[in-house]
Structure 1
Amino acid sequence: MFAGKTVVITGASSGLGAALAEGVAKAGGSLALLARNAERLGAVAESCRAAGGRVVEVQGDVVDPGACESLIAAALAEFSSIDYLVLNAGVSMWVSFEEIEELSLFSKIMDTNYQGSVNCVYHGLAALKESGGLLVAISSIQGLTGVPSHTGYCASKHALQGFCDSLRIELKGTGVDVLTVLPSWVSGTGLRGRALGAEGEAIGVEAKGHSSSAVPLDRLVAKVLRAMRKRRRLLYVPGYMRIIPLLKALCPCFLDWIIKKKVSR
C-alpha cells in the first residue's frame, strides 16, 4: 500500500502516531518521525524497522518551527521526497472553563494542536507539491462542534479545521490534496490520560475512562491508512458522526443536549 512512499508523522512516540507509523512500515513505506520523548520515539522507530520500514527519527516539539524544519530536512535527505505529511501531534484537556486555574493551558493546547501543525505545513508544503502528495490532519469531531470541559481543545481543533479547509481550496490544481480525520472518542491512544486539568497538569490515565462506544485504536488506524491510500477529503470515525454538521445546522439545541448527556455520563 505504501511501498516506495515516504510518510512523515508528528507525535509519533505513542498512541495514534506510533500505531500509524507501524502500519505504514508493515505496508512497505519509509518513515520520518517526530516526537518530544526521544526514548519512546526510538522504541517506535526500532519497531518500525523490525516490521520492514526504513526510518529516520527527529527528537523535537512541533511548537518549535526549527524542529519542524529539521524533520522535513531529515526526510528529504534520507528519502529524497515526501508523499504524506501526517499532522498528529496533539494535547487534550478535561476541565470546565470555570474550574481552570492556569490559563497557560490554553496557549499550550493551541500552540501544539494548531500552530504546531501550521509550522509543519509551512516547512513541508513545497515537498508535498513536488511529489503531488497528501496532507493528513488528525483533527477531531470536536473541530466541528463544542464539547463541555474541552473548551480549549475544541477551539484548537476548530482552528485546525479552518486552516485545512482554507488550504485545501488554495491548493486546488497543485496536485496536493488535504485529508481531515474527524474521530470521536478513541480508546488506546493514551491521549485522555495526558489531558490537561485545572492547573495545566495531566489528569492521569484513571481519571476519565472511555465509554463502550469509543473507537478502538486499531480500527481507527486501519480507516486512516485506507483513507490516505484513497486520498479522501474527510474521514469521520465512526461513520455516523457525519450527521454532526447536519444536526448542528438543523437541530443545534438537540445536538447540544446529546453532547451534554454523553459527556456527563
Structure 2
Amino acid sequence: MAGESQRVVVITGASDGIGAEMARQLAATHGAGVALVLAAPLQAVADACTALGAQAVAVPTDVSIQIQCRRLVIGAVERFGRIDVLVNNAGRSAHALFEEVEDLDWYEELMRVNLWGAVWCTQAALPHLKRTRGSIVAVSSLAGLIGVPGRTAYSATKFAMTGFFEALRAELRGAGVSVTTAYPGVVATQIRYRGFNAAGETAGASGLIEDGAMSVEECARLIVDGMNRRQREVVMTGKGKLGRFLKLLAPGLIEKMALAALKQDVRPH
C-alpha cells in the first residue's frame, strides 16, 4: 500500500522514450514520495526508478488488448491501494502516403494502440481517479492538432485522442479530476523508426526531418510540469503554438509548412 503522502502514478508506454523519462524524472524529484506502475515489458526502468528512491513496478501490458488495460489498473490498485495519476503515453507512429497503402488493417491496429488503449485504461482507472480527485495525462501530438501529409493514419488516431480527452475534460469538470493533453512535436526518440510504413511493416526510418528535434528530457519535463500544474494543454513548441492559430487564419500556409517538414523522398508527387 502507498503511504498517505505518496502519489501513485500509472504510466503506459514506459519501456523507453517519453514514458520512461517521465518515470525517471518523477522518481528523481519525489523519491519515496511516489509509487510508479509502469506498463513495460522489462524491469529495467522500474529498477532505475527504485534506485532513485521511488517504489516502482513493471507490468507487461499490450494496451491494444482491453483486458490487459484493465489488469494494469487492477494491479496498481491491489498493489498500492489507489491511483492518483494516469499517464496515457503508449503509442505507435506511422508514415505512409495514403494512395500507397493497399491493406488498411494496420490503420485499425494503430487506432487500437493510440486511441483505444488510452480509452480502455482511462475507463478502468476513472473510478479510482475520482476518489483521489486525481489527474489524467494524454500524450497526443502536434499531428493531433494539424493534419500532416504522409501521416493520415497517425493524425487520425491523434485527432481522435485529442477529441476524446477534450470532451472528457468537460465531463469531469465537477469531479475534481484534471485532464492534461500534451502535444509534442518532433522528439528525439525511436518512435518514428518503429512505426508502420505503407506495407504495414516496421519503417526502420523516419519520414520527418529530425534536425532540431526536442530532447526526450525536455519533452518529459514539460509534460510533468503541465501535469503537476493540472494544465489543460501543453503545446511544446513555438511553431506548434503558432500553427494552431495559423490553421484558422491561413490553412494553405500550414499545409506548406507541414510538407516542408517531410524528407524530400517521401513527399507526395
Q: 1:210 deviation in Å?
A: 4.5
Using the alignment, how far apart are the partners of 1:44 and 1:96 within structure 2?
35
Using the alignment, how far apart are the partners of 2:238 and 2:251 within structure 1?
20
Amino acid corresponding to residue 87 of structure 1 in structure 2: N
Using the alignment, how far apart are the partners of 1:45 and 1:239 within structure 2?
33
Q: 1:249 deviation in Å?
A: 0.8
2:22 is aligned to 20
Q: 1:240 deviation in Å?
A: 4.0
Percent identity of paired positions between Structure 1 and Structure 2: 37
Using the alignment, how far apart are the partners of 1:180 and 1:32 within structure 2?
20
Using the alignment, how far apart are the partners of 2:93 and 2:43 within structure 1?
24
Number of residue equivalences: 257
Task: Give yes or no for the alignment of 1:90 onto 2:91.
Answer: yes
Q: 1:207 deviation in Å?
A: 5.1
SS in 2 for 1:27: helix
Contact 1:94 1:149 in 2 (8 A): yes
Task: Give yes or no for the alignment of 1:263 onto 2:262.
Answer: yes
SS in 2 for 1:214: coil
CA deviations over 1:134-191 (Å, ceiling 9, x no partner): 100000011111101110000000000000010000001100010000011111x210
Q: Which moved more, 1:85-94 or 1:58-67?
A: 58-67
Task: Give yes or no for the alignment of 1:31 onto 2:53.
Answer: no
SS in 1 for 2:168: helix
Task: Give yes or no for the alignment of 1:128 onto 2:129.
Answer: yes
SS in 2 for 1:215: coil
Contact 2:141 2:184 in 1 (8 A): yes
Using the alignment, how far apart are the partners of 1:116 and 1:132 within structure 2?
22
Change (3 A) 1:207 1:239: closer
Change (3 A) 1:210 1:52: farther
Amino acid corresponding to residue 23 of structure 2 in structure 1: A
Using the alignment, how far apart are the partners of 1:243 and 1:125 within structure 2?
33
Contact 1:58 1:70 in 2 (8 A): no
Q: 1:212 deviation in Å?
A: 2.1
2:230 is aligned to 231
- Could you tell me which runs of 5 or more consecutive residues in structure 1 were left unpaired when the two chains were aligned: none
Q: How does 1:17-96 map to 2 (within 5 A)?
A: 17-28=19-30, 29-35=34-40, 38=41, 41-96=42-97
CA deviations over 1:198-227 (Å, ceiling 9, x no partner): 2211111x4546532211111111111111
1:220 is aligned to 219
CA deviations over 1:36-88 (Å, ceiling 9, x no partner): xx2xx311111111111101221121111211111111111122121110000
Q: Scaled by the length of structure 1, what TM-score is found? A: 0.93
Using the alignment, how far apart are the partners of 1:98 and 1:192 within structure 2?
20
Using the alignment, how far apart are the partners of 2:235 and 2:241 within structure 1?
6
Q: Scaled by the length of structure 2, what TM-score is found? A: 0.91
Using the alignment, how far apart are the partners of 1:251 and 1:145 within structure 2?
12
1:139 is aligned to 140
